[in-house]
Structure 1
Amino acid sequence: MNIPKGKKIYFASDNHLGAPTKETSYPREKKFVAWLDDIKQDAAAIFLLGDLFDFWFEYKTVVPKGFTRTLGKLAELSDSGIPIYYFVGNHDLWMHGYFEEELNIEVFHKPKEFIFNDKIFFIGHGDGLGPYDKGYKRMKKVFTNPIFKWCFRWLHPDLGVKIAQHLSVKNKLISGDDDATFLGEDKEWLVQYSKSKLEDKHRDFFVFGHRHLPMEIKLNDNSSYLNLGDWIQYYTYGVFDGEKLTLKKFENFKEG
């Protein structure tokens, strides 16, 4: 993709809408929608790197209630011609066609490589990558197992959502949410994963979410790692102007 002059590519991750309750997450949703409205003038593409919702499961004819403003704004931007790409996170593993069919948003279940203006990007949510996170990796195999999904689908949505929300908060293996403090480059497993990927091929930028910490780290003279932070505490996002990838904070919002 060649980015037209004056256009930019935007990245955001980890909104966890609906947590801890829909009422308390509502102001955060309004701020996120304001950001989407703010960037639509110069967005060449928008990448959402997972955990937009704290829980999401698509039954055959039902999706979770709520998030109307977010879904409506995404539909508006997609209909206007702005391509939107979504990478599922550990809280929204069970996407199965709704975003593609209703919003015309392409959904990815694994990290993927993109090239923008000759710059190579490696993009994903970040869960389960690298040598650690072993407990979560085992749990993810259970959650993505077709038999488990079939059994869960037979629960009434009210019960299924209630159980999932409880586990999302209480079980660290499911949430993948360690204490969000910087561990040092040698212990940040997404940094280590990015460095390992450079051993077989050059990439200019690695962009992930999941850690809930805004981070910009040089991996070598020509490659960088960027973690997008979240829309719970930091309200940070990534922006690529065709040459440079930077991390910014959205502050152009007034409650009203």
Structure 2
Amino acid sequence: MILFISDLHLQVDRPALTEAFLRFVDERARSARQLYLLGDLFEYWAGDDDLGDAFHARIAAALRALADRGIDVFWIAGNRDFLVGERFASTAGLALLPETWVIEDHDRRIVLVHGDAQCTDDTKYMAFRAQVREPAWQRQFLQMPLAQRKAIIAGLRENSRQDQGEKSYEIMDVTPQAIDAVFAQTGADVMIHGHTHRPALHTAGGKLRYVLPDWEPEASPPRGGWIAIGDDGVITRHALDGSVL
């Protein structure tokens, strides 16, 4: 079985969310063959030197336990945790993947992305994304003291919350043109992504696009879940309690 999750936005002041993730690791992921983390596992990531934080170390240890069981764990960066690097990967026992990745399963090509790069109508975000994904910008940022980086990120998060309140859902969603381009460039039959927090299965032109949910176990009703590909090749969407949607 192959599992896919994204958009947990783990953070120390949301213990119910952390426990939901750890239950998923213990009760679901440990029986999988592969686990793909498709971005925004963390609410933010200021740099791998933050692994000294007890909360981050706990999450890394949970992933490492999967790797030690022989489960392949893969990471695609999200818009909140794109600064995860080789030190975190080594500690957690996972492999860092490029932002577009294709796997083959049961004679299908499945393309994996986080999804933010396909929100091309959000021109302000796309400009910001281009800036912070530049290696030179990242090197300069990571040279700052950790406390300074966290303060900058806190300001960016606040600005993001204000911007989102002024944008329509349509602007913050993926665009059909960007999705079509990914399918064309990769020759994939299926796409799995997160980012938009709008879980669904979309069909168009014979292609399937699965959107992962964000995780809000504290909400009423709770939100969250994952996508699975069984050994028989069947793709299923699961709610946070494991039920098939």
TM bracket, shorter-chain basis: 0.7 to 0.9
Partner of 1:249: 239
Q: Return the letter of the residue paired with 1:227.
A: V
Q: What TM-score, normalized to structure 2? A: 0.84
Within a 5 Å distance, the mapping from 1:204-215 to structure 2 comes to 204-215=189-200
Please name the residue that 1:15 is paired with.
8
Separation in structure 2 between the aligned mates of residue 243 and residue 75 of structure 1, nearest angstrom = 26
SS in 1 for 2:2: strand
Q: Is the alpha carbon distance of 1:62 and 1:36 closer, same or farther for their aligned partners in structure 2, counting shifts above 3 Å?
A: closer
| Amino acid of the structure 1 residue aligned with 2:110 | F
Task: Report the 3-state secondary structure (helix = DSSP H, G, I; strand = E; otherwise coil) of the residue aligned with 2:39.
Answer: coil
Looking at structure 2, the residues matched to 37 and 240 of structure 1 have their Cα atoms a distance apart, in angstroms, of 18
- Structure 2 CA distance for partners of 1:201 and 1:132, relative to 1, 3 Å: same
What residue number does 1:155 align with? 144
Aligned position for 2:65:
76
Greater mean deviation of Cα atoms: 236-245 or 191-200: 191-200
Q: 2:180 aligns with which of 184, 195, 217?
A: 195
In structure 2, what is the equivalent of residue 237 of structure 1?
A: 226
Give the match for residue 208 of structure 2. 224
* In the alignment, structure 1 residue 46 sits paired with structure 2 residue 46: no
Q: Name stretches of at least 5 consecutive residues in structure 2 with no aligned partner.
A: none
Instruction: Pick closer, same or farther for the CA change 1:75–1:133 going to 2, 3 Å.
Output: same
Deviation by residue 1:14-64 (Cα, 9 ceiling, x = unmatched): 01112xxx22x12101101101111135301001101111111325x5436
The one-letter amino acid paired with 1:9 is I
- The 1:244–1:149 alpha-carbon spacing in structure 2 relative to 1, beyond 3 Å, is same
Matched-pair identity in %? 20
Cα distance, 1:165 vs structure 2: 2.4
Q: State the superposition RMSD in angstroms.
A: 2.8
User: Structure 1 residues 178 and 33 mapped into 2: Cα distance closer, same or farther (>3 Å)?
Assistant: farther
2:127 maps to 138
The 2-side partners of 1:180 and 1:34 are apart by 34
Question: What is the total number of aligned residue pairs between the two structures?
Answer: 235
Q: Which amino acid aligns with 2:188?
A: R
1:85 to 41, 56, 74: 74
TM-score (norm 1): 0.80
Query: Displacement, 1:199?
Result: 4.5
- SS class of match (1:170): helix
Matched, 1:36 2:20: no
Separation in structure 2 between the aligned mates of residue 145 and residue 70 of structure 1, nearest angstrom: 27
- Shift of the alpha carbon at 1:176? 7.8
**SS of 1:161's equivalent?**
helix
Contact conserved, 1:128 with 1:134, CA < 8 A, in 2? no
Q: 1:60-75 maps to which residues of 2 (within 5 A)?
A: 61-63=49-51, 65=53, 66-75=55-64
Task: Write the deviation string for residues 124-155 of structure 1: whole angstroms up to 9, x where unpaired.
Answer: 11112264232222112221233432332233
Residue type at the aligned position of 1:237: W
Residues 111 and 124, structure 1, Cα contact 8 Å, conserved in 2: yes
Report SS of the residue matched to 1:189: coil
What residue is the counterpart of 2:15 in the other structure?
A: 26
